[in-house]
């Protein structure tokens, strides 16, 4: 029997991507799409690409379902759960940042949903906090080094597409501003830094300092990050470290060739490549911010929690051209 699914905040980018994925998932059935601002509107009227995929109408009524995805703006998931009664048997996957650092909420304990290190905890879980997009890309680049206690001072840059800012129009997402333009933002103060350090410091014996400069890019979707650290290990040994760490992780691909963002856009994959000069190494990682950085990883977590294959409904081809 298929699991019933509801999406709260279905009118945003992550909600619409979840609809696209779940509409073709063999084990799920979409029951309702919740939106306070667009109730009564067909989802395909907001997103014409979903016309042949989903004919549900957005509603402000909540039904009891087996699986509930929260795709709300940051800091709103907790408020929504306070206002609505959800069965303890319902699997809740929150794509916001409400429960990533502090997972306790009433009688629920949210598991941090990075499958590459918390697979066993996610199995059978009823409450999952989906990681952030930059946090996913940077953590996957750094976690093997953290386990080997090779991290101390980390210098990271990352560039993201306009969809990372959400659907609401802002000055920095308007086409005339974004086109042929880049800019740094939240320099050394991005909200994902604490989230990254929480996981990295759980593996690394010494305290890690992360210096992160994020950039807005002139493209719609995708993230590319580069982290630099001091390391005396030979490059071959470092690659072996990564391959061993991710040998059971189907969505992390370690490449000895240069990587680019289009290799992963429209997929749930993370591609990682490492370069070395003297005693410094650079770890490049790239993901689709809306899939491995959000909706795809949420489906991956749903699969694991239910005991299904991780890649169920996620066999997607990258948009190479």
pLDDT for residue 69 is more than 70: yes
Q: What is the pLDDT of residue 259?
A: 98
Residue written as tokens 């916001």? 96
User: Catalytic one among 54, 133, 231, 270?
Assistant: 133
Distances in Å between the Cα of 270 and the Cα atoms of 23, 35, 62, 116, 287 are 23, 31, 34, 11, 5
Determine the average pLDDT of the residues in 305-320: 94
The closest alpha carbon to 192, from 74, 292, 72, 15, belongs to 74
Question: Which tokens is 226 given?
Answer: 């580069």
pLDDT for position 64: 95
Q: Going edge to edge, which strands form the sheet with 252-255?
A: 183-184, 209-216, 153-160, 223-230, 280-287, 270-277, 252-255
Q: What single-letter DSSP state applies at residue 293?
A: T
Question: Would you place residue 176 in the very low, low, confident or very high pLDDT band (cuts 50, 70, 90)?
Answer: confident
Distance CA 167, CA 164 (A): 9
Angle at 49 between CA 47 and CA 55, to 5 degrees: 70
Task: Spell out the domains of the chain, with CATH numbers in brackets.
Answer: 3-130+294-305 (3.40.50.720), 133-287 (3.30.360.10)
Structure tokens at 214: 């994020």
C-alpha–C-alpha distance, residues 255 and 267, integer Å: 16
SS3 state at 69:
strand
pLDDT tens figures, 111-129: 999 999 999 999 999 999 9
pLDDT digits 0-9 by tens, 130-149: 999 999 999 999 999 999 99
In the structure, what pLDDT confidence band is assigned to residue 168 with cuts at 50, 70 and 90?
low
Task: Write out pLDDT tens, residues 275-291.
Answer: 999 999 999 999 999 99
Q: What does the block give as tokens for 258?
A: 């240069």
Of the listed ranges 5-19, 171-185, 237-251, the least confidently predicted one is 171-185
Cβ 296 vs Cβ 303: under 8 Å: no
In the predicted model, what is the mean pLDDT of the chain? 94
pLDDT given for residue 187 in this prediction: 93
State yes or no: is 71 an active-site residue: no
Per-residue pLDDT at 179: 85
* Nearest alpha-carbon partner for 129 in 95, 79, 78: 95
Measured distance CA(234)–CA(263) in Å, rounded? 27
Instruction: State the average pLDDT over residues 21-44.
Output: 92
Place of tokens 């386990």: 147
Q: What would the pLDDT profile of 214-260 be if each residue is shown by its tens digit?
A: 999 999 999 999 999 999 999 999 999 999 999 999 999 999 999 99
Q: What angle do CA 40, 44, 46 make, to 5 degrees?
A: 70
Residue 21: its pLDDT value, please?
97
* pLDDT > 60? residue 169: no
Q: Which residues 6+ apart lie within 8 Å of 203 measured at CB?
A: 117, 143, 146, 147
């Amino acid at each position: 029997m298929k699991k019933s699914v509801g999406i709260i905040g279905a009118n945003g980018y992550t909600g619409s991507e979840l609809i696209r994925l779940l509409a073709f998932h063999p084990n799920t059935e979409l029951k309702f799409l919740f939106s306070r601002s667009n109730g009564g509107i067909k989802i395909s009227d907001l997103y014409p690409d979903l016309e042949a995929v989903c004919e549900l109408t957005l509603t402000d009524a909540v039904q009891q379902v087996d699986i509930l995805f929260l795709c709300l703006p940051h800091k709103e998931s907790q408020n929504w759960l306070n206002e609505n009664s959800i069965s303890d048997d319902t699997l809740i996957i929150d794509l916001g940042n409400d429960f990533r650092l502090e997972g306790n909420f009433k009688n629920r304990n949210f598991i941090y949903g990075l499958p590459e290190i918390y697979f066993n905890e996610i199995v059978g879980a009823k409450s999952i906090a989906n990681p952030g997009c930059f946090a996913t890309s940077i953590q996957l680049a750094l976690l093997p080094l953290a386990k080997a206690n090779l991290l101390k001072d980390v210098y990271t840059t990352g560039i993201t597409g306009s969809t990372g800012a959400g659907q609401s129009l802002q000055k920095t997402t308007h086409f005339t501003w974004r086109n042929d333009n880049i800019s740094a933002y939240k320099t050394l103060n991005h909200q994902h830094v604490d989230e990254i350090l929480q996981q990295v410091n759980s593996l690394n014996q010494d305290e890690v300092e992360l210096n992160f400069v994020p950039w807005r890019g002139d493209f719609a979707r995708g993230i590319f990050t580069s982290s630099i650290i001091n390391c005396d290990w030979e490059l071959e040994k470092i690659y072996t470290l990564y391959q061993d760490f991710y040998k059971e992780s189907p969505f992390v691909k370690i490449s000895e060739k240069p990587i680019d963002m289009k290799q992963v856009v429209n997929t749930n994959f993370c591609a990682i490549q490492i370069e070395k000069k003297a005693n410094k190494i650079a770890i490049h990682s790239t993901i689709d911010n809306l899939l491995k950085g959000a909706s795809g990883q949420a489906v991956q977590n749903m699969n694991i929690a239910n005991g299904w294959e991780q890649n169920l409904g996620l066999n997607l081809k990258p948009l190479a051209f």
